[in-house]
Amino acid sequence: MSGNIQLLSDTLAAAKADGRAALIAYLPAGFPTVDGGIEAIKAAFDGGADIVEVGLPHSDPVLDGPVIQTADDIALRGGVKIADVMRTVRETHAATGKPVLVMTYWNPIDRYGVERFTAELAEAGGAGCILPDLPVQEAGLWREHAEKHGLATVFVVAPSSKDARLAEITKVGTGFVYAASLMGVTGTRASVGAQAQDLVERTRATTDTPVCVGLGVSNAQQAAEVARFADGVIVGSAFVKGMLDAPDDAAGVEAVRALAADLAKGVRGQA
């Protein structure tokens, strides 16, 4: 069975044709429970997200800030497994018809088996994977299996990336390029800043692949700011914080829906 890289590309192209950036939400699988996480992702789509990244909880994250680490810890203590991540992808894609990716560090895939992971992700209807800690020069095995199964391989670029390095990354990445707007870990920021725009411009000089910006966006005004120069706006910590701050799981799901609706206005210039 082939994965949904084409659906991902079509979704990003449709947003561009609509004169706007795509809204990409991030939520970890298994948080607050597996079923609760599935409902939260459905709510993100219902609120206006175009694409969702499902986080595979990891005990030693290098990119995730304290908010997402807290959610990951809850999911891991709840016993979340890769099978639960696949179920989350399967059920949310089946319910919405929208593109769902997995964001994961390399170690869990390596231990699970690349062929097994890519085959199961494609079977679940997944669109691809974001791999923040997999160096391009070591990604051959992953890329081979991802391409075979119709999955996008999304690499992360940072403001510190030199132009030659950007070209090396974008030459082999597919789906979109994840531009980390700031040096550091995920989390909401008061300002997303000029670094992100510079990074997008430098990345675009090397590729026609869409460039989506993450790290720091938490409200409609920031989403509108980033949407002016990026192909997609990625929001994670703000969704997770809304769920952590909610008095119960149902309120958490509604917080996700409301934030997605607010951010959707932002990327459309209606904030």
pTM assigned to the model: 0.94
Tokens (6 digits) for 122: 């494609």
Q: Does residue 66 register a pLDDT over 90?
A: no
Of the pLDDT bands very low, low, confident and very high (cuts 50, 70, 90), residue 29 is very high
Q: Is 53 assigned a catalytic role?
A: yes
pLDDT digits (tens, 9 = 90+) for 120-177: 999 999 999 999 999 999 999 999 999 999 999 999 999 999 999 999 999 999 999 9
Angle at 48 between CA 255 and CA 2, to 5 degrees: 115
Out of 39, 64, 120, 225, the active site residue is 64
Out of 39, 50, 53, 84, the active site residue is 53
| Strand blocks (E) in 61-203 | 100-103, 128-130, 152-154, 156-157, 177-180
pLDDT digits (tens, 9 = 90+) for 173-185: 999 999 997 644 4
Distances (CA, A) of 199 to 86, 175, 229: 32, 18, 10
